[in-house]
Structure 1
Amino acid sequence: MSPTRIPDATLRTERLFSASPQQVFAAFEQADQLARWWGPKDFSNSFERFEFRPGGRWIFVMHSPNGADYPNESVFREIEPEARIVIEHVAKPWYRLTVTLSARGEQTQLVWAQAFESPEVAAKMRGLAEPANEQNLDRLQALLAAGGS
């Protein structure tokens, strides 16, 4: 489950979920589900705007367990139901997150590729982003195991 190191601007990790691509996609598509698992361990979210469509905006605040708030703004660039979601994080630090879903029998292979503006920015973000991305997927896995309820 550890991230694959790529010597360019992209941080990448993969995870096999015991859920269908439809179930995994719904966890992104449905704001109430996404708010429950997005972000590192013990973070919570307040969504101001969530327009899950190509060109739609996603504005929210991540709340850390120590009380700090982190405003975020993203744009959904591509959405292919049950297959691919591309999210451009337009606030600093800029990145483009491509999530690819592939059916593997009764399971779903998720590939999470977070492309930063340069290898240098990716290197600076690696220590924070890699563990945070793994925690994000841990939270998604727990939501899916609970039936998304």
Structure 2
Amino acid sequence: MTHIADDYDSDLDLVFERTVELHPEQIWAAWTQPAHVVHWFTPAPWKTLSCDIDLRPGGVFRTVMCSPEGQQHPHVGCYLEIVENRRLVWTDALGPGYGPAANPFITAYITLEPEGGGTRYHARARHKNSEDMLRHVDMGFERGWGLALDQMVAYMKALKTQ
């Protein structure tokens, strides 16, 4: 099966990959249910205040993040590809219904592959140009996406024990 942007581009793409002790279905739920997203999506000390999801191609993926200083940062995009429990692609280059965005930054590709008793979690952030990609590196891409994934794993494991 061919997916959007299967070819890695070192001038535009940042990649984060790790094997985690969650099943693909748990990670899928964490990514696709707003009640879960708000608990892990933004690396602490940032917070995700709200999330809206319309899980279909062209459907909205909207979050409002809050900095430690209290500044709110809304992000709005839409889904491009949805393969349940395996692949999720969304972008802020387009808004809901594929409307063009004024200031695009990222297209995200989340791929989940069962591995042992867990999942190989592969995330790719594609940027519109190398300047934006380097800005994302400077923002702490790898550390931030790693912290967010750690938060997701802890949150989903805690749900399982309740």
The AA in structure 1 aligned to 2:157 is A
Report the 3-state secondary structure (helix = DSSP H, G, I; strand = E; otherwise coil) of the residue aligned with 2:159: coil
Residue ranges of structure 1 left out of the alignment (5+ in a row): 1-5
Q: Which residue of 1 aligns with 2:117?
A: 106
Distance 1:38 1:104 in 2: 23
Structure 2 contact 56–79 (Cα < 8 Å) conserved = yes
Superposed counterparts of 1:54-133, under 5 Å: 54-90=57-93, 92-128=103-139, 129-133=141-145
Report the 3-state secondary structure (helix = DSSP H, G, I; strand = E; otherwise coil) of the residue aligned with 1:102: strand
Q: Residue 144 of structure 1: CA displacement?
A: 2.4
Q: Which has the higher strand share?
A: 1
TM-score norm. by structure 1 comes to 0.87
By relative contact order (CA 8 Å, sep 6+), the higher-ranking structure is: 1
Q: Share of identical aligned residues, percent?
A: 26
TM-score norm. by structure 2 comes to 0.80
Distance 1:10 1:145 in 2: 30
CA 1:98–1:80 in 2, change beyond 3 Å: closer, same or farther?
Answer: same
The AA in structure 1 aligned to 2:145 is N
Cα RMSD after superposing both structures: 1.8
Report the 3-state secondary structure (helix = DSSP H, G, I; strand = E; otherwise coil) of the residue aligned with 1:66: coil
Q: Which residue of 1 aligns with 2:98?
A: none
* 1:46 maps to which of 39, 49, 64: 49
Residue ranges of structure 2 left out of the alignment (5+ in a row): 1-8, 94-100
Q: Which residue of 2 aligns with 1:136?
A: 148
Query: Between Structure 1 and Structure 2, how many residues are aligned?
Result: 144
Question: Structure 1 residues 13-22 or 107-116, which shifts more?
Answer: 13-22
Question: Structure 1 residues 136-145 or 16-25, which shifts more?
Answer: 136-145
Report the 3-state secondary structure (helix = DSSP H, G, I; strand = E; otherwise coil) of the residue aligned with 1:70: strand
* 1:18 maps to which of 10, 16, 21: 21
CA 1:27–1:47 in 2, change beyond 3 Å: closer, same or farther?
Answer: same
